[in-house]
Structure 1
Amino acid sequence: MRAIDLFAGAGGFSTGAHMADVDVVWAANHWQAAVDVHAANHPGTAHACQDLQQADWRDVPAHDLLLASPACQGHSPARGKEKPHHDALRSTAWAVVSACEFHRPQFVLVENVPEFTKWTLFPAWCSAMAALGYSVAPHLVDSADHGVPQHRVRLFLVCARSEHPLHLKLEPRAHIGANSVIRFETGKWSQVNKAGRSTNTLTRVAAGRARFGHRFVMPYYGSGSGLTGRCLTRPLGTVTTVDRWALVDGDRMRMLTADENRAAMGFPENYVLPVRHREAVHMLGNAVCPPVARDMINALKEAA
């Protein structure tokens, strides 16, 4: 089976496809830094850096499976009310329709946040895919159910050129705790009670200590995991595009390293990341978890 990867980012969808023995022949993204990372890890794939809403699909090789992760920022509530939620971001999903109109691959897998289905134009998008002969089956998938040490619920639209929607049988895997990715001997530690530490942070640390003891993880910003964080035997909460998860160890604490975030996303240990920490975390937070992509594609192949 041959695949292409639209909005490929750092390459989570492509990595999962390779885990499922699928050949990713072409990948594209609008951000050159992401294309460079994808190319470093997938040298056998042809790459393009372009706005996919302006793509000439004649230049894209034939394929059986189209993988796509259109921009989610216009749909995600994590974006916040103060930032724009408009079609400049949401409209990237129409590139999937455009590609399918030209190539008509047998299968399409689209990943996004669950709120994608609440988009005003989502019914029109589904109607456009139906006009091209595709049935659309939504699947809500938590990465923790696929061996990823992170709770990350995402929407996967399984589109097949078939009369009836294709609902995949996904066997849940055992959950893996955050302790599987934590390396206490690494990272930049600081004292919990250092000058300038916010009262909210200190309150969370105190509550976490009371519940879990001297070692645990907690959100350094945002709401998730309440006021106490979570024990290390549980999967992390969602990895985002900026540093979110802090590790507490006695009187010291630090943010998770890029390598720990990579492992929490389910990427291989040797997967090449950008040198700059902020850039690496940004790409990881936008990525598809490779083991989830692997399981989705394997289930799709079994159902085909």
Structure 2
Amino acid sequence: MRSVELFVGAGGLAMGISNAGFRHVGLYEWDRYACDTIRFNKERNVGPVRDWPIYQLDVRSVDFTQYRGIELLAGGPPCQPFSLGGKHRGREDHRNMFPEMIRAVREIQPKVVLIENVKGLLRESFAKYFEYILLQICYPEIVPKENEDWTDHLSRLEQQHTKGRYHGLSYRVVFRLLNAADYGVPQKRERVFIVGFRSDLNIEWSFPNPTHSFDALLYDQWVTGEYWERHRVAKKHRPDIPDKLKKRIESLRMGLRLIQGAPWVTVRDAISGLPDPESEQDCGVPNHRFNPGARVYPGHTGSPLDEPAKTLKAGDHGVPGGENMLVKPDGTVRYFTVRESARLQTFPDEYVFSGSWTESMRQLGNAVPVRLAHFITKDIRTRLEWSVADAGKAV
């Protein structure tokens, strides 16, 4: 099955899609540093990356009709216009590329559309524009008229949607806010995913259920103790049970809470096996170099070792103060190395980031976790395959 992706960045979503069995026929990214990372890994003959057709272009210059009829169109339009840490300009931000994403839907007419973006897109201040995005994906051929205000275009889309009869290109669209930790990613990263199946396929689909849970982690740590045994942490070195979790843990111990799925994956799980970058600065592991200067700020205190990490952040001009840090057992903090951050985003160790620490961390902070992307697109691919099989039986 073929796929096209826009706004590829460092390739997290693209790698997850490749791992799910899709074959990329076009990958578009304008940022040269992100493209350098992908090209560097292509040269190193890394996994599926070796065959990626990466184009360093502004998507506004691309004629997407060349990809008409592919199975999957994916992308994560720049999140800064809607990010909680951004300037919150939304549709008025020059980086708002949702119009180009929707143009690609209209010109390609893929079987499935997959879009990822930040949690901030769901804020009340963007609610009306978010509805506008969804309805444009539902009816990509109902385009704005010349000089038509977007709110007037929204009204026309709403009228069509409530009418219920439409014979043009349309999609059945759903969205959900997902926490990457619930799918085995060692990071509490909440992102909005929008999925649309082309209406003529008559496919029913819903987001796959979570595979991991916080309760399972608490049970593993504080009821059975298997977590500490697995990491060979002696009892005298184990932290105390947090007071705010004691009642919850007691309920787990007594079987009063239902445990679902595997334990959340923690920072300790993710970086296990990597040498300490402070004491072994020439360890030979790519991207695993210590970067000094980490400091705690009010509200920004780093990620505990025995939980999934806090959300990795990019920032417009490098890593924001107090972010992307590890809290060590003695309470001090240090920055995550690029390799540790790549593990938190579930990139394979063979995937190397080119450029400075600041630039590599920016790419990682903007990336989609590979494991989460794989999990969602694998489910999409399975549903498409079922659809083809059902169509064959009907014939």
Q: TM-score, structure 2 length as denominator?
A: 0.63
Structure 2 residue identity aligned to 1:68: G
Matched, 1:116 2:121: yes
Residue 310 of structure 2 aligns with which residue? Answer: 237
Residue 45 of structure 1 aligns with which residue? Answer: 52
Q: Is the 8 A contact 1:65 1:105 kept in 2?
A: yes
Going from structure 1 to structure 2, the CA distance change for 1:302 and 1:121 (only over 3 Å counts) comes to: same
Deviation of 1:127 (Å)? 2.0
Which residue, 142, 167, 172 being the options, matches 2:211? Answer: 172
Which residue, 132, 135, 151 being the options, matches 1:127? Answer: 135
Q: How does 1:207-226 map to 2 (within 5 A)?
A: 220-221=296-297, 223=299
Distance 2:5 2:68 in 1: 11
Deviation of 1:133 (Å)? 0.7
Instruction: Please give the per-residue CA displacement for 1:270-293, whole angstroms capped at 9, x wherever unaligned.
Output: 112013111110000000101000
Residue 343 of structure 2 aligns with which residue? Answer: 263
Q: TM-score, structure 1 length as denominator?
A: 0.80
Unpaired runs of at least 5, structure 1: 190-196, 202-219
Going from structure 1 to structure 2, the CA distance change for 1:55 and 1:221 (only over 3 Å counts) comes to: farther
Across the aligned residues of Structure 1 and Structure 2, the Cα RMSD in angstroms comes to 2.6
DSSP 3-state at the match of 2:116: strand
Residue 91 of structure 1 aligns with which residue? Answer: 96
Instruction: Please give the per-residue CA displacement for 1:158-185, whole angstroms capped at 9, x wherever unaligned.
Output: 1111267732223413311101233452
Distance 1:167 1:78 in 2: 30
Instruction: Please give the per-residue CA displacement for 1:242-289, whole angstroms capped at 9, x wherever unaligned.
Output: 253134353864211000000011110111201311111000000010
Q: Is the 8 A contact 2:40 2:354 kept in 1?
A: no
Residue 57 of structure 1 aligns with which residue? Answer: 64
Distance 2:136 2:87 in 1: 30
Q: How does 1:21-40 map to 2 (within 5 A)?
A: 21-40=21-40
Distance 2:191 2:330 in 1: 34
Deviation of 1:303 (Å)? 3.0
Identity %: 25
| Aligned structure 1 segments of 4 or more residues deviating by more than 4 angstroms | 59-62
Q: Is the 8 A contact 1:5 1:66 kept in 2?
A: yes
Task: Looking at secondary structure, tell me which structure has more strand per residue.
Answer: 1
| Count of equivalent residues | 272
Residue 215 of structure 1 aligns with which residue? Answer: none
Going from structure 1 to structure 2, the CA distance change for 1:6 and 1:251 (only over 3 Å counts) comes to: closer
Unpaired runs of at least 5, structure 2: 42-48, 140-168, 213-261, 281-292, 385-395
Residue 136 of structure 1 aligns with which residue? Answer: 173
Deviation of 1:62 (Å)? 5.4
Distance 2:331 2:64 in 1: 56
